[in-house]
């Protein structure tokens, strides 16, 4: 699936949430995520190389953790992310396979996340990443074949501006790269 992903660092989380609440939008309960990010041995930042993300999600303490493997590839020329994911059963075995394929661990990222559905295929996330100061808001919008990348990106930026975020707060680096 193709996505446009834009995130910004929030100047004031409470003010951001207040503006959402004023129009009857509210985030889901907070849940915990841990990601192990793997990159090819010849990985270069700002390239279209794939990253593999081995993710653990705990949405409730009385439910089992969900394990997922995600392939994410940012296509620099277009600004589009190609994302494919699958649920896995054996976390250790998946990590072993990734290493045997020639990938190496880039970083581990733990975060607390809340989610808000904005529309069909579009979600906003509120993230607090361990080891990185502040809060982030991220909007992910799935692209249809007839969507124009710049139009979708412009809509996302306008959404952020609607909730008081300046375009200068947009962050291009992944959480893993920020650590």
How many domains are contained in the chain? 1
What stretches of 60-174 show up as alpha helix (H) in DSSP?
A: 91-100, 149-162
Q: What is the CATH number of the domain that holds 41?
A: 2.40.320.10
Rounded Cα gap, residues 26 and 20, in angstroms: 7
pLDDT higher than 90, residue 168: no
**Total-model pTM:** 0.87
On the CB side of 145, how many CA atoms lie within 13 Å of its CA? 0
The tokens describing 87, both together, are: 């649920």
pLDDT, tens digit (0-9, with 9 covering 90-100), for 66-101 = 999 999 988 877 778 899 999 999 999 999 999 999
Query: Does 45 score more than 80 pLDDT?
Result: no
pLDDT digits (tens, 9 = 90+) for 110-144: 999 999 999 889 999 999 999 999 999 999 999 98
Q: What angle do CA 171, 174, 175 make, to 5 degrees?
A: 100
Q: What residues make up the domain containing 91?
A: 2-178
Please, are residues 136 and 7 in contact by the beta-carbon 8 Å criterion? yes
């Amino acid at each position: 699936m193709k996505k446009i992903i834009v995130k910004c660092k929030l100047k004031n989380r409470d003010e951001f949430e207040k503006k959402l609440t004023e129009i009857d939008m509210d985030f889901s309960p907070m849940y915990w995520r841990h990601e192990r990010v793997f990159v090819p041995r010849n990985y270069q930042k700002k390239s279209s190389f794939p990253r593999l993300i081995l993710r653990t999600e705990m949405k409730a303490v009385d439910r089992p953790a969900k394990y997922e493997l995600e392939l994410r590839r940012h296509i620099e020329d277009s600004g589009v992310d190609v994302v494919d994911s699958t649920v896995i059963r054996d976390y250790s075995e998946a990590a072993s396979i990734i290493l045997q394929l020639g990938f190496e661990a880039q970083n581990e990222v733990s975060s607390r996340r809340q989610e808000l559905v904005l529309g069909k295929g579009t979600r906003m996330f509120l993230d607090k990443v361990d080891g990185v100061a502040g809060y982030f808001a991220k909007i992910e919008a799935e692209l249809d074949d007839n969507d124009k990348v710049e139009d979708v990106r412009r809509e996302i930026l306008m959404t952020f501006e609607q909730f008081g975020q300046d375009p200068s707060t947009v962050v291009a680096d992944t959480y893993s790269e920020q650590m």
